[in-house]
Structure 1
Amino acid sequence: MARGGEPTLITSVQRALRLLEAVSEQPAGTTAKHLSRRTGIALPTTYHLLRTLVHEGYLEKLDDGAFIIGEQVAGLHSAAQGQGLRSRIRSVMTELRDDLNAAVYLARYDDGEVVVTDIVDSPRTPRVDTWADFKEAAHATAIGKCLLSGLSRAERADHFDRYPPADLTPRTITRIRDLIDGPEHPVVTDSEEYSLGTACMAAPVLGTGSPMTLAISFPARKLTGTGAFVPPLCAAAGEISRTLALSGDFPTAG
């Protein structure tokens, strides 16, 4: 840190960023001399920074000597969009956690598997102890049941062929016919089927390329009073659905 608490800044990095900004303002590209005049950076320094940016893929030099934005910048832009989308969705989940005093989960059915993509919890609202892999326990969780309800009966049958339902607790439902028929209501609840003492509730997130769900977990003793949980859970799932409809499908790790 510099004196007075001001951060120590790297001048060469600042100059490189100014050059990137100046290039982005010229759709057809621009020359080193123009960039030097536009940014006030000395021409020799401009050439040095441009060569570095071209080497790293952040700029591309055309045959006529003009510079344009490179593919690395496009990659950063795409990553920023994905991170921004995740941040907006996570804020909805955080608000729901605080509103219902419950851990919140976002999950999707991806290539035949149950995948939990995000969890928002806290010391007061801890996540469920995942002692059994959710991929193998779709039959025993509201998350899994909600995701499977978005599939056809044949697809659900295929899932249970690959993952035969097992007794995880004395309350686990394992009858194949009941599981394939699936829940009749959009909001799915499990009570101590996955973990004794824990209940879970899940609502579908609509408009995605594959089934997705927003879910909450909480102590099973609260289950009798969860009627008030349904409207906020459905509202949050609806908000995430609208966010994804505007932004495209949820980004997945590459």
Structure 2
Amino acid sequence: MPEQPPAPAGQTLIGSVQRAMRLLETVAGHEHGAPAKQLARETGLALPTAYHLLRTLVHEGYLYRDRGLFFLGTAAERLSSSGAAQKRRSTVVDSLAQWRDLIGVPVYYAMYRDGEIEVVCVSDTPANPAVQEWADFRETGHAHAIGQCLLSQLDESARRDHLSRYPARSITPYTVRDDHTLLRRLERMPRMQPVTERQEYALGTVCAAVPITVGATAATMALSLPAHQADRLLPAARQLQSEVGRRVGALALAISI
């Protein structure tokens, strides 16, 4: 076994925890399981110590025993799943930061989940700040590009269900004023094209959202600009859509969390 690095000055390492982790790592390396004696030998542990730790790990669900062989248990699999989810989320976070710097705009990632509009991640800078959420994003999907983009990806029944809970209402002089007008607008939207809105959610701000559909999941990447830069909105949206297209495979996996 490789020599363990010394503990940092002033810190005490828990030896039993270290030994248990070594056992878990060793079991993970045996797809078809391994007996206690082999695990003890490979980890350099005394057999009684290995037995004691293995029994504890089985009791806690990190391992299970079948016909004398030890395998990773459900608790260890949950840890692995959580780590994979974090890695997929970091893919989205890193992508947003890259596009933020490339295009010079705040970038947003949102999805429609369990009947709600959810802004999952926002990437901005002090020079290009994100839109202040002054009215609940979930309740004002009719007014902002993110919500309109997500609703455009739903079928009519799901749209009407959403509007029965969050009816359209005017929050700026430019906001669509009723459900009927919004539904007509959504029906006319070209599929998979950027959705734009100008000062419908926040005065002084224009926004665009790019639709991303993965299976039955509706998602979007969006951006915002000050109203005096409105001429940049559609070109920036097209650039974002192109960049999303380059990473659609990795994003599809992340969105499927």
Per the TM superposition, whether the score is higher than 0.5 is: yes
Deviations 1:8-35 (A, max 9, x none): 6543333222211222233332222221
The within-5 A match list for 1:44-55 is 44-55=48-59
Paired position in structure 1 for 2:91: 88
Paired position in structure 2 for 1:72: 75
| 2:119 corresponds to 1:116 | yes
Deviations 1:30-81 (A, max 9, x none): 222221111111222212221221222111123x332211111111121122
Give the secondary structure class of the aligned counterpart of 2:16.
Answer: helix
Give distance in 2, aligned partners of 1:103 and 1:230: 12
Relative to structure 1, the CA distance from residue 244 to residue 99 in structure 2 (aligned partners, 3 Å threshold; closer, same or farther) is closer
Unaligned runs of 5+ in 2: 1-6
Q: What RMSD in Å do the two structures reach over aligned CA positions?
A: 2.3
Deviations 1:192-232 (A, max 9, x none): 11111122110001324221111112212111223430232
Which of 19, 29, 41 lines up with 1:37 in the alignment? 41
**Contact 2:92–2:254 under 8 Å retained in 1:** no
**Which residue type is aligned with residue 168 of structure 1?**
I
Paired position in structure 1 for 2:17: 13
Paired position in structure 1 for 2:8: 2
Give the secondary structure class of the aligned counterpart of 1:29.
Answer: coil
Paired position in structure 2 for 1:138: 141
Relative to structure 1, the CA distance from residue 240 to residue 132 in structure 2 (aligned partners, 3 Å threshold; closer, same or farther) is farther
Deviation of the 1:154 alpha carbon = 4.2
Give distance in 2, aligned partners of 1:112 and 1:24: 39
**Contact 1:206–1:241 under 8 Å retained in 2:** no
Paired position in structure 2 for 1:224: 231
Paired position in structure 2 for 1:191: 198
Give the secondary structure class of the aligned counterpart of 1:139.
Answer: coil
Paired position in structure 2 for 1:101: 104
**Which residue type is aligned with residue 8 of structure 2?**
A
**Contact 2:194–2:238 under 8 Å retained in 1:** no
Relative to structure 1, the CA distance from residue 31 to residue 221 in structure 2 (aligned partners, 3 Å threshold; closer, same or farther) is same
Deviation of the 1:141 alpha carbon = 0.2
Identity rate of aligned residues, in percent?
42
Relative to structure 1, the CA distance from residue 8 to residue 122 in structure 2 (aligned partners, 3 Å threshold; closer, same or farther) is farther
Relative to structure 1, the CA distance from residue 38 to residue 129 in structure 2 (aligned partners, 3 Å threshold; closer, same or farther) is same
| 2:189 corresponds to 1:202 | no
Equivalent pairs, count = 247
**Which residue type is aligned with residue 202 of structure 1?**
A
Give the secondary structure class of the aligned counterpart of 2:214.
Answer: coil
**Contact 2:214–2:256 under 8 Å retained in 1:** no
Give distance in 2, aligned partners of 1:217 and 1:169: 17
Unaligned runs of 5+ in 1: none
Give distance in 2, aligned partners of 1:219 and 1:151: 29
Deviation of the 1:146 alpha carbon = 0.5
- TM-score, scaled to structure 1: 0.87
| 2:241 corresponds to 1:234 | yes
Stretches (4+) displaced over 6 A: none
Paired position in structure 2 for 1:60: 64
Give the secondary structure class of the aligned counterpart of 1:134.
Answer: coil
Deviation of the 1:124 alpha carbon = 2.6
Deviations 1:104-150 (A, max 9, x none): 11111223221112222232332211121112111110001111111
Relative to structure 1, the CA distance from residue 176 to residue 26 in structure 2 (aligned partners, 3 Å threshold; closer, same or farther) is closer
Give the secondary structure class of the aligned counterpart of 2:221.
Answer: strand
